[in-house]
Amino acid sequence: MSSIAVIGGGYVGLTTAACFAHLGHDVVCGDNDAERVRSLSKGEVPVLEEGLPELVAAGLASRRLSFVLTAAAAAKTAEFVFLCVPTPQGENGAADLSIVEAVAREIAPVLRPESVVVNKSTVPIGSADLVERLLNENGAVPGTIGVASNPEFLREGSAVRDFLEPHRVVIGCKDTEVAVRVSELYRDLRAPILVTDAASAEMIKYASNAFLATKISFINQVANLCEEVSADVREVALGMGYDPRIGFEFLHAGPGYGGSCFPKDVQALLYSAQTVGYDFQLLRSVHDVNQIQHDRMVEKIANAAGGSLDGATIAVWGLTFKANTDDLRDSPALAIARRLIDGGATVRAYDPAAGERAAGLVPGLEVVSDPYEACDGADVLTVLTEWDELRWLDFERVGAAMRQRRIVDARNLLDPAAMRQRSFAYEGVGR
């Protein structure tokens, strides 16, 4: 078993650290937020992520997992140092690498000879070379430290399962011996391991997210067309998905993709293409279609409210960027709620996991802790996140609370026939 440092105690870092400890490695997770380190050391996991609190608790109890302040403190004795720090969207859509760079400078002087620094953060093509150069310039003995790219493919909400049951492990490195050492860390997982050069590994990550975003924009446009020709996009997606070349996943039409990854990574890949003079037309459209899809939902809600949002009361169910997470970053629901408020509507929202925090992010948004209360006096109820619990509510009670029985289901969560039976005017996406 190996000694591993994980730098960054966010979604990716914490999942990586807890899962490596679960696999039997000795893991120290370094973060520069003292409060976070303190609470993680007590087993308090700050994010809603299935299975993660249990793994963190088990790691702490077995002493295979610990948390320390600073990257250097975590890295100094490790054989492998995984960089799991944020790469937020910077100017012009480019990925902002300043945190990765700062960490590389910080750990360079303390790294143990023969250790390997592994980029797990989503970093632009060429970042492995950048990290190697920064290590060498800041005190690492050149030629003694390996650098590899090992992108993550974790989905929020199922990150632990995605780590422990991956579809593939990608390791990009110019030195095959180093790549083999990194691959050994995953030997107990049953997954294909693909060893490539660093640039290809970095591209695999961006191209994967960009392709999934493309699937979503594609099905959203098919859905819009379905509305024009009276087809049902759910049936269409099912019929397409049986073809294994297409597959069922990521063909759910909705309000457009959001979250901390797709919007940012699509922009970053577009920016990378632009810097080398390549026009990635398809991806530009994927992004544009996504923006238009948000607009379309606002229009649907306005139409359901009688043509204007001004003075209307809208009940919103769901605020997170998808279900089973408490993450609000780049949530289509928040973007839509903002637009409704700007249009003059009173918006009263319920979310099972993140209501209170959302209230602080959207001026004028009223947040309540009960889905029925959100519907009090509403002209339209709109479902913006696909929380399963919303499906099973008492719709007689919902209808009785509303001023008018109108639903815009931006996630196709509810059963249209059941809604119409209860006298709701129901509108989904592409059905």
Binding mask of the shown chain, residues 258 to 277, with x at each position contacting ligand UGA by CB under 6 A: xx-xx---------------
Closest CA to 380 of 291, 311, 295, 431: 311
Does residue 218 bind ligand UGA (CB under 6 A)?
no
Binding part of the chain for ligand UGA, among 62-70, 80-88, 255-263, 301-309 by CB under 6 A, reads 255-263
Instruction: Give the Cα separation of 138 and 124 in Å (integer).
Output: 21
What is the biggest distance separating any 2 CA atoms in the chain, rounded to whole angstroms? Answer: 73
Residue carrying structure tokens 């303190």: 38
Q: Which of 20, 82, 186, 257 binds ligand UGA (CB under 6 A)?
A: 257
Which residues, 304 to 323, sit near ligand UGA by CB under 6 A?
Answer: 321-322
Does residue 164 bind ligand UGA (CB under 6 A)?
no
Q: Which of 56, 68, 75, 154 binds ligand UGA (CB under 6 A)?
A: 154
Total binding residues toward ligand UGA, as defined by CB under 6 A: 20
Does residue 153 bind ligand UGA (CB under 6 A)?
yes
Residue burial 336-368, b: 16+ Cβ < 10 Å; e: rest = bbbbbbebebbbbbbbbbbbeebbeebeebbbb
Q: Which is nearer to ligand UGA, 257 or 395 (CB)?
A: 257
Which pair of tokens denotes residue 183?
A: 């691959």
Residue type, 253: A
Q: Is 261 a catalytic residue?
A: yes
The dihedral sign for the CA sequence 45, 48, 54, 55: negative
Q: Which is nearer to ligand UGA, 248 or 278 (CB)?
A: 248
User: Least distance in Å: CB of 235 to ligand UGA?
Assistant: 15
Instruction: Give the Cα separation of 363 and 306 in Å (integer).
Output: 24
Does residue 216 bind ligand UGA (CB under 6 A)?
yes
Q: Which is nearer to ligand UGA, 172 or 254 (CB)?
A: 254
User: Least distance in Å: CB of 97 to ligand UGA?
Assistant: 16
Which residues, 103 to 142, sit near ligand UGA by CB under 6 A?
Answer: 122
Does residue 254 bind ligand UGA (CB under 6 A)?
yes
Catalytic residue among 19, 173, 261, 375: 261
Which pair of tokens denotes residue 399?
A: 């209808």
The pairing of beta strand 65-69 with beta strand 169-172 = unpaired
Question: Taking a C-beta distance cutoff of 8 angstroms, is the pair 144, 125 a contact?
Answer: no
> CA 17: distance to chain centroid?
18
What residues make contact with ligand UGA under the rule CB under 6 A? 122, 152-156, 209, 212, 216, 250-252, 254, 257-259, 261-262, 321-322
Which residues are the active-site residues?
261
